[in-house]
């Protein structure tokens, strides 16, 4: 197997091979601590979303230093990778409906606390059969659609019906509600975002009341992301938040503004695509070595960190076109790109290169890279 390592511990930043994924360890650590403090101040649990980083090293840091109670994963195989690496409390914040995936989930529940989301009555039977088969317990959150229009059952009686069935099913435990407003996270305007979350909070509170009437207690009321966590966190309704991107931030989250029109909760960009100029035959542009295989451009082009004189304007498989009106770039010049969307960008790399004080201090594998099953 050919290696994919762009540096070694001690390598000077300017000697890291490109394109590669670098983490500013100081900024990353400040982000984790800032979120931990918010959760502590507001008496909330933080179940950090590991779909952002897919790293057992980062999960451990979020739990040990940031005070997170565990992690969320979005795929069974992603959860397996982290459990295999030592994480002991994981919510698959998604539906698991295929028979073979349920078997993997039930087997994993023998060696870690495992929770999952449910939005379908027939799925309860299958999850129960899986848990019974393996002699394990799977905790279930009923997922309600609080406005994102994706997964989740309609809030209210439909949710209560599923919760009752879970409560009665062998091998399962009804643990609460998943009420994530995914669509709101990337709404740039604060007032618009707030209105969406107020709607979500109301739907969630109403469903909790109905569950109470049915003598079903929600130990967990879960949701929220980096774009809205202060809203759910101060609602008095949610008690377990699932923020993920705050550790890294990205160019799209940079466009999401707080009440004062400022950068979201002062989280800092800590994740960068390190890239080099590899062709410079025109006076007004340069070609760099980070293209579509070094990032995901679903949320637009990356932003060049700390520069306003040049702009990353276009992308093909292995090339990025950088507008260079002042003709300032030269062959082998290195640049730090803020990815437009951190999660799917991380997923194409094998390694995080952690840097501090001008050199490489940590190299972490992207433990669950490519774990889409």
- Looking only at residues 34 through 63 of this chain, which bind a second copy when binding is defined by CB under 8 A? 51
Phi, psi of 45, rounded to the nearest 5 degrees: -85, 145
In the complex with a second copy, which residue's Cβ is closer, 222 or 290? 290
**Judged by CB under 8 A, which of 161, 206, 318, 361 binds a second copy?**
318
Residue 214 falls in which region: left (phi positive, over 0), alpha (psi -120 to 50) or beta: alpha
Least gap, CB of 2 to a second copy (angstroms): 4
The reply on whether position 232 binds a second copy by CB under 8 A is no
Taken as a whole, the chain contains a residue count of 373
Site residues for a second copy, 166-225, by CB under 8 A, read: 182
Cβ–Cβ under 8 Å, residues 138 and 110: no
Site residues for a second copy, 269-298, by CB under 8 A, read: 276, 278-282, 285, 287, 289-290, 292-294, 296-298
The reply on whether position 131 binds a second copy by CB under 8 A is no
Using only the alpha carbons of the chain, give its radius of gyration.
22
The reply on whether position 145 binds a second copy by CB under 8 A is yes
Least gap, CB of 51 to a second copy (angstroms): 6
In the complex with a second copy, which residue's Cβ is closer, 321 or 355? 321
Least gap, CB of 206 to a second copy (angstroms): 18
State how beta strands 89-95 and 285-288 pair. Answer: unpaired
Residue 144 DSSP class:
B
Interface pattern 72-111 for a second copy (x via CB under 8 A): --xx-x--xx--x---------xxxxx-xx----------
Residue 185 DSSP class:
G
Site residues for a second copy, 235-264, by CB under 8 A, read: none
**Judged by CB under 8 A, which of 196, 253, 341, 353 binds a second copy?**
341
In the complex with a second copy, which residue's Cβ is closer, 44 or 200? 200
The reply on whether position 347 binds a second copy by CB under 8 A is yes
Question: Quick one: which segment of 60-68, 118-126, 164-172, 233-241 binds a second copy (CB under 8 A)?
Answer: 118-126
């Amino acid at each position: 197997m050919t290696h994919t390592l762009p540096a070694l511990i001690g390598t000077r930043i300017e000697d890291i091979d490109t394109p590669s994924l670098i983490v500013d360890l100081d900024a990353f650590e400040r982000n984790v601590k800032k979120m931990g403090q918010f959760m502590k101040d507001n008496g909330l649990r933080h179940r950090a979303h590991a779909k952002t980083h897919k790293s057992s090293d980062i999960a451990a840091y979020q739990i040990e230093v940031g005070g997170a109670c565990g992690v969320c994963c979005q795929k069974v195989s992603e959860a397996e990778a982290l459990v295999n690496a030592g994480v002991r409390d994981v919510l698959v914040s998604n539906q698991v409906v295929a028979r073979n995936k349920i078997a993997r989930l039930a087997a994993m529940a023998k060696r870690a606390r495992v929770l999952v989301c449910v939005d379908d009555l027939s799925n309860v039977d299958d999850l129960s059969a899986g848990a019974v088969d393996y002699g394990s317990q799977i905790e279930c959150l009923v997922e309600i659609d609080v406005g994102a229009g994706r997964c989740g059952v309609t809030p209210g009686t439909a949710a209560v019906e599923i919760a009752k069935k879970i409560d009665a099913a062998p091998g399962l435990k009804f643990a609460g509600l998943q009420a994530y407003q995914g669509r709101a996270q990337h709404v740039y305007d604060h007032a618009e975002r707030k209105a969406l979350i107020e709607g979500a909070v109301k739907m969630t509170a109403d469903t909790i009341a109905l569950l109470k009437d049915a003598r079903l207690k929600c130990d967990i009321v879960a949701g929220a992301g980096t774009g809205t966590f202060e809203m759910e966190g101060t609602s008095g309704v949610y008690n377990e938040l699932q923020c993920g991107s705050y550790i890294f931030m990205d160019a799209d989250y940079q466009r999401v503004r707080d009440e004062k029109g400022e950068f979201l909760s002062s989280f800092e960009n800590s994740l960068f695509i390190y890239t080099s100029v590899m062709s410079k035959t025109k006076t007004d542009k340069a070609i760099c070595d980070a293209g579509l295989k070094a990032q995901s451009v679903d949320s637009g082009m990356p932003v060049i960190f700390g520069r306003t004189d040049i702009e990353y304007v276009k992308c093909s498989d292995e090339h990025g076109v950088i507008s260079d009106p002042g003709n300032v770039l030269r062959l082998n010049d290195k640049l730090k790109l803020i990815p437009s969307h951190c999660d799917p960008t991380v997923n194409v790399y094998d390694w995080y290169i952690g840097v501090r004080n001008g050199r490489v201090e940590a190299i972490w594998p992207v433990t669950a890279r490519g774990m889409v099953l």
